[in-house]
Structure 1
Amino acid sequence: MSEAPGGRVAQLKHTGLRSGWTTGACATAATTAAYTALLTGRFPDPVTITLPKGQTPAFALAREELETPPEGRRAMAAVVKDAGDDPDVTHGALVRATVRALPAGTGVVFRAGPGVGTVTRPGLPLAVGEPAINPVPRQMMRDHVERVAALHGGSGDVEITVSVDHGEEIARSTWNPRLGILGGLSILGTTGIVVPYSCSAWIDSIRRGVDVARAAGRRHVAACTGSTSERTVVAEYRLPEDALLDMGDFAGAVLKYLRRHPVERLTVCGGFAKLSKLAAGHLDLHSARSQVDKGFLAELARRGGADDTLVREVAEANTGLAALQSCAAAGVLLGDLVAVAARDEALAVLRGAPVVVDVICIDRAGTVVGRSAPAG
């Protein structure tokens, strides 16, 4: 990744897509501007920050206020989040930081303003009751407060209240409520940069979901490809919400994290076609990165007793569903065969971790069309 003049991150050379900034980078920029104004009376605009890997982007301020209320002088600066070409739900959100001076020796105190959530369950990298401002953004803000204090004669003892306009509404379309982060969004980011379509936020949510389930003492979790498979698993096992992992297409992310942080039992539930990809050895189930292998399905059908005519029909089927229907008409349990192969692939990725796995395949209506026995 290269950096264009003025601190703007250039297009990613391998995709032509424009990268963007995390909420953590935006909050750091807003904090830097607000604390500078608190000490000097002037807001730097644009304001430049240094990211963890050394990039120095500049952010234009969208709002600025300097007040002297009865409880003490404070400054607020706001930055519009630009996620680049990534389909990020927080793209365009207004991230605000309000900075207030505290007595010497207090250090940096973080508060959740409107639109930023509060942690209510154990298992996250923040204590219960803390604002949902992740560790790396907190460190970035502390570092920049220290630099501004050194430049302008401040003590560096401040209260930082981070807010996101409409954040509580935006958070409803994220994992936050399920993870026990209530009242708004999380302030995220480890590098400060959003890489388009990297899906790092989704994968991070999977990991945090496992952490929350483990902290809650859940012995059985389910990784689901979507809402229909979630409903199927809940009907099958009556699992609580914090035991459900929104796997989406990221089977590998679930399995590799559970390999390091095991739970007693994992159920993988999803559409037949998607799970046939896992059965064939694919860990990313997105249609742009893996395809249903009809030849593989044909070989499974042969192992399940299909004759040559049916094997050829499966190999030439237009879709995985068509292959499944052909086998069902002939009494060949292709759904079960795919579920068993997917379970065995999952166990191979887990590499002996103490996790018992079973797999459920469903059709688009949520009807179970295949399942494996648990094994570990």
Structure 2
Amino acid sequence: MARKPDGPLRKGWTTGACATAATRAAWQAMLSGQFPNPVTITLPRGETPSFALVKAETGDGWARASVIKDAGDDPDVTHGAEIIATLRHGKPGNGITFHAGDGVGRITKPGLPLPVGEPAINPKPREMMIGQITELATEFNVPTDVEIEISIPGGQEIATKTWNPRLGIVGGLSVLGTTGIVIPFSCSAWIHSIHRGIDVARATGRTHVAGATGKTSEAAIRTFYDLPDEAILDMGDFVGGMLKYLRKNPVEHISICGGFAKLVKLAQGHLDLHSSRSQVDFDRLAQTVKHCGGDAMLQDATRTANTAKQVLEQCQAANVDIADTIARQACESARATLDGATVVEIVITDRDGKIIARHSPGDFDTFRPSVKK
């Protein structure tokens, strides 16, 4: 995750807002013969941003407009992408239909807000575009039989940096955004993807999912249980966002896998594990060392340690098994958040991806026919 810069941050616009602006411009050109430039739209909360056009092209029965996405100061992979709307007159009575152009994905798995086979243009952006089409159709007294094709050049390559392939969205990016506004470093897109991952897992019949803090722990838990893509959640630091959604949308079993330092934070009650938003309490960790049988010298070393990794190494050198205790405490913290909706397992890995501790109430393996004994 990119580091948040100091000072005030500039907001940006979602792909959905950009697609809506391009759609309005193209539709207005089809009806009036002229492109508005800049083009102004009204967002769901009443904001009225204006967008400069990059493309403004017309032909027999069609028009095309595009804008460049400005995500503000958010580290959005789609920042700077060109969002293109190509509109064509549809068959009478067909109404407004949506189509995926180059770089926009198509849905191949159930559990997402749209049916399998649909272009990955989310419901709220569709609603925004329909609003613009309807408004201008009323003004010009014409029917709303329109085909809207959204394209994002390079979107298929950009999508490899997102969760789309894992969610079963193939061929490109999704057109997203519920408010039209990108709040810098809000991490809303990440948490949204965790939620959609849970939806897909449930819809595809998965009874065991896993959330990992990073690539090393993800590889470890995936290999240990031989899990498919749709069972892996890109949890990152947002264990709270994952657990709270699972509480309302449960699966039978969840494995939470990560390094020692991250899971110490969970054990101490933190639900956001990012270093800028939670810190290890070394005095409290020293109490855990004492509980595990560590002597006074090891407890003092824990209080003055620079990192949790250092504490783990000191405990391992002293034959004090702190990892198992941290796994148990983290499990208790997660269970309190889940409120009994899902059986949880904690898996701690070292930096090489070796599993050094596992804990779950009861024998978690008895629930998992795919576990490698």
Contact 1:33 1:77 in 2 (8 A): yes
Rounded to whole Å, the distance in 1 between the matches of 2:103 and 2:194 is 22
The aligned counterpart of 2:343 is 356
Tell me how far 1:234 sits from its aligned partner.
1.5
Q: Which residue identity does 1:209 align to in structure 2?
A: G
Q: Please, which moves more after superposition, 226-235 or 88-97?
A: 226-235
The aligned counterpart of 1:64 is 56
The aligned counterpart of 2:262 is 274
The aligned counterpart of 1:292 is 280
The aligned counterpart of 2:250 is 262
The aligned counterpart of 1:325 is 313
Mapped pair 1:50 → 2:38: no
SS in 2 for 1:116: coil
* Within-5 A mapping of 1:137-176: 137-176=125-164
Tell me how far 1:373 sits from its aligned partner.
3.0
* Within-5 A mapping of 1:192-203: 192-203=180-191
Identity %: 57
SS in 1 for 2:289: helix
Once the two structures are superposed, residues 34-71 of structure 1 have per-residue CA deviations (whole angstroms, 9 ceiling, x without a partner) of 00001111000000000000001000001111011xxx
Contact 1:223 1:267 in 2 (8 A): yes
Q: Which residue identity does 2:122 align to in structure 1?
A: N
Out of 16, 20, 24, the position equivalent to 1:28 is 20
The aligned counterpart of 1:80 is 68
* Within-5 A mapping of 1:79-228: 79-228=67-216
Once the two structures are superposed, residues 168-190 of structure 1 have per-residue CA deviations (whole angstroms, 9 ceiling, x without a partner) of 00000000000000000000000
Out of 354, 357, 360, the position equivalent to 1:373 is 360
Q: TM-score, normalised by structure 2?
A: 0.94
Rounded to whole Å, the distance in 2 between the matches of 1:281 and 1:174 is 29
Mapped pair 1:37 → 2:37: no
SS in 1 for 2:84: strand
Q: Which residue identity does 1:36 align to in structure 2?
A: Q
Once the two structures are superposed, residues 57-93 of structure 1 have per-residue CA deviations (whole angstroms, 9 ceiling, x without a partner) of 000001111011xxxx100000100000000000000
Structure 1 gaps of 5+ residues are 1-13
Q: Which residue identity does 1:125 align to in structure 2?
A: P
Tell me how far 1:257 sits from its aligned partner.
0.4
Rounded to whole Å, the distance in 2 between the matches of 1:361 and 1:306 is 20
Q: Which residue identity does 2:14 align to in structure 1?
A: T
Once the two structures are superposed, residues 191-220 of structure 1 have per-residue CA deviations (whole angstroms, 9 ceiling, x without a partner) of 000000001000000000000011110110
SS in 2 for 1:306: coil
Rounded to whole Å, the distance in 1 between the matches of 2:333 and 2:142 is 58
Count of equivalent residues? 358
Contact 1:78 1:95 in 2 (8 A): yes
Once the two structures are superposed, residues 243-300 of structure 1 have per-residue CA deviations (whole angstroms, 9 ceiling, x without a partner) of 0001011010110000000000000001110111111111111111111221121111
SS in 1 for 2:300: helix
Rounded to whole Å, the distance in 2 between the matches of 1:317 and 1:75 is 64
The aligned counterpart of 1:11 is none
Contact 1:265 1:357 in 2 (8 A): yes
Structure 2 gaps of 5+ residues are 1-5, 365-373
The aligned counterpart of 1:6 is none
Q: TM-score, normalised by structure 1?
A: 0.93
Q: Please, which moves more after superposition, 290-299 or 117-126?
A: 290-299
Q: Which residue identity does 2:228 align to in structure 1?
A: P
